[in-house]
Amino acid sequence: KAGVTQTPRYLIKTRGQQVTLSCSPISGHRSVSWYQQTPGQGLQFLFEYFSETQRNKGNFPGRFSGRQFSNSRSEMNVSTLELGDSALYLCASSLEALTAEQYFGPGTRLTVT
């Protein structure tokens, strides 16, 4: 079974721009969660989607948003990029919502200059 895939793997953007990252979950998994990983803050939860609905949200500003499609694929968007948004963005999928066993993709490395 194919794992979680994320595109693109690497991205360089300029301050003020916006970015959209994509995640395809493991086949049959209906829940997708997004995390931000930085050396200073570690792994931090952004939000979780299940059945196209946001089920849970972390403590990030409204510039961070996401959505899920009917095929469970998910996208996250960051608007008005700041230098501090440079991070590895990880997507994780699980069978159901609010399930502890999450399986991570390889991440998208975003650099904001």
Partner 1 sequence: GQQLNQSPQSMFIQEGEDVSMNCTSSSIFNTWLWYKQDPGEGPVLLIALYKAGELTSNGRLTAQFGITRKDSFLNISASIPSDVGIYFCAGRNKGNKLVFGAGTILRVKS
Of the pair 65, 103, the CB lying nearest partner 1 is at 103
* DSSP codes joined into one string, 30-96: -EEEEEEEETTTEEEEEEEEETTEEEEE-S--TTEEEEE-TTS-EEEEE-S--GGG-EEEEEEEESS
CB of 52 to partner 1, least distance (A): 18
For residue 42, the minimal CB distance to partner 1 (Å) is 5
- Count CB atoms within 10 A of the CB of residue 26: 18
Nearer to partner 1, 79 or 109 (CB): 109
Least distance (Å) between residue 16 CB and partner 1? 28
Tell me the torsion sign for CA atoms 7, 18, 37, 59: negative
Instruction: Name which of 37 and 65 has its Cβ closer to partner 1.
Output: 37
- Note the residues at the interface with partner 1 (CB under 8 A): 4, 33, 42-45, 56, 58-59, 90, 92, 98, 100-107
Measured from the CB atom, the residue of 66 and 105 that comes closer to partner 1 is 105
Q: How far is the CB of 26 from partner 1 (least distance, A)?
A: 12
